[in-house]
Amino acid sequence: MKIKAVGTSGGKTIRNMLTTFLIDGKLAVDCGSVCTGLSLEEQLKIHDVFISHIHMDHIGELPLLVDNRALYGKSVTVYATETTIRYLREYVFNGVVWPDFEKIPAGEFPALVYKRVEYYYEVNVGDYLLTPLPVNHVKGSAGCYIQKGKIGFAYTSDTGKTDAVWEWLKKQPLLKGVVTECSFPSDMDALAGISHHLSSSMLGGELKKLGTDADVFIYHLKPQFSGRIREEIHGLNVHILSDGDEIVF
């Protein structure tokens, strides 16, 4: 399994790309930079997308991906929770902000198809088994565990302090790697708490709950504080992702 960290940042600048992970070139996990980070040719290979939650930095380029593919007669299948699908329909693909691609082109084969997922229920997504997992962020948020053969990979997406996802993941013997977040430095615990994110002082405690030897990768550093966050989590046994990094298991 090859995971390209197309965008890994918790904020957007000319040098920072928003959250998108691409599995083996064909399954996109979140769409913060799925167009700015990938060529048209690469976008045309992405049939399936998992959307973890409705926040702009995770869905921002999904409408553009759907449009790009639709012009080649290709659809996108979006896997998301019921709440996230409702938000996408109401607030994004609503015929005002962006066309309702469930009705385009007219007829049997729309350019956008939603597939509802439920926490802990495994679904087949192309070559993969995907299990959505509850995390502590906005309503409808889900991390995911993606398995192919004997390789398991997990993505918590954005989350504050939580237990359920770690308890479930520590029971997965095939888990090779986990991507989780660290958005703020330690003196911003209060903001991390109310925005349901992790700070560098919270991260160690969360990883103790995981308690496996899977590799841990960190994303979603706010670019304003990335230097301090890097210093503060230096002692933890984690890899801090940069845009464009590749993880291979």
What is the closest distance, in whole angstroms, from the C-beta atom of residue 195 to Zn ion in the complex? Answer: 8
Tokens 């192919």 -> residue: 148
Shortest distance in whole angstroms from residue 10 CB to Zn ion: 6
Site for Zn ion in 38-57 (CB under 5 A): 55, 57
Of positions 158, 206, 232, 243, contacts Zn ion by CB under 5 A = 158
In terms of CB distance, is 21 or 101 closer to Zn ion?
21
Q: Which residues of 116-153 are buried (b: 16+ CB within 10 A; e: fewer)?
A: bbeeeeebebeebebbbbbbbbbebbbbbbbbbeeebb
- The amino acid at residue 203 is L
CB 117 within 8 A of CB 130: yes
Name the residue with the smallest CB distance to Zn ion.
55
Least CB distance to Zn ion at residue 31 (A): 12
The least distance separating Zn ion from the CB of residue 143, rounded to whole angstroms, comes to 12
Nearer to Zn ion by Cβ, of 55 and 148: the residue is: 55
Closer residue to Zn ion, CB minimum distance, 113 or 138:
138
Q: Which is nearer to Zn ion, 84 or 147 (CB)?
A: 84
Q: How far is the CB of 187 from Zn ion (least distance, A)?
A: 20
Residue 197 lies near Zn ion (rule: CB under 5 A): no
Residue 174 C-beta: closest distance to Zn ion, Å:
27
The rounded distance, in Å, linking the Cα atoms of 152 and 209 is: 18
Q: Which listed range, 67-75, 83-91, 99-107, 157-165, lies at the site for Zn ion (CB under 5 A)?
A: 157-165
Beta carbon nearer to Zn ion, 57 or 232: 57
Looking only at residues 206 through 245 of this chain, which bind Zn ion when binding is defined by CB under 5 A? none
Ordered alpha helix ranges (H), 81-173? 82-87, 164-169
User: Tokens at residue 72, please?
Assistant: 């080649």
- Vertex 76: Cα angle to 47 and 177 (nearest 5): 50
Sign of CA dihedral 30, 181, 90, 133: positive
> 248 - beta bridge partners?
2
Tell me which residues touch Zn ion (CB under 5 A). 55, 57, 158
